Amino acid sequence: MSWWEWVLVGLAGAIGAPLRYVVDTVVTERIGGAFPRGTLAVNVSGSFGLGLLSGLAIYHGLPGPPKLIVGTGLVGAYTTFSTWSFETIALFEEGERRLAGRNVVLSALSGCRGRRAGPGRSVERAVAWGHDDHCSPGQVPDLRGVHRR
């Protein structure tokens, strides 16, 4: 990894961390409640973004430096496992065991679903934009669950 990649990963992280704060705050203020919806929104949207990035890398040949900068720097700083675990334990300790369990299940399932949707969306967009020539027939995923306009 070159010195400029280190710098760009740091700069992307400097964007991702405040973005996480903004999204978390806006969602929490608009919806409220004891359930940590802001953190859930951040982690699910981050999972989707990482899935989209993975799809671009796998199916469209996105090179290493953008994957590193966006995936590790931006998305890595944007998503948060530590806040999720802190909020889950806090819910449990406050006697909100059902909300804590719901947070674990929703975060895991929604995060996986968001990550899974990303590659399909990147392929769908490439096909819609007429750039499907970058996908070899063996690499195109099953798009039956992807909604098209």
As averages over each run of 10 residues, the pLDDT of the chain (149 residues) reads: 92 96 96 93 92 83 88 92 92 95 92 76 54 44 43
pTM of the model: 0.75
Domain that holds residue 112: 3-133
Of 80, 9, 16, 91, the residue nearest 44 (C-alpha): 80
Query: Is residue 15 assigned to a domain?
Result: yes
Query: Is residue 127 assigned to a domain?
Result: yes
Query: Is residue 141 assigned to a domain?
Result: no
Per DSSP, helices labelled H in 32-134 are 37-60, 64-66, 76-78, 81-93, 97-128
Number of domains comprising the chain: 1
3-state DSSP call for residue 1?
coil
- pLDDT score recorded for residue 51: 87
Query: Is residue 110 assigned to a domain?
Result: yes
- pLDDT score recorded for residue 32: 87
Query: Is residue 70 assigned to a domain?
Result: yes
3-state DSSP call for residue 96?
coil
- pLDDT score recorded for residue 4: 93
Query: Is residue 146 assigned to a domain?
Result: no
Query: Is residue 126 assigned to a domain?
Result: yes
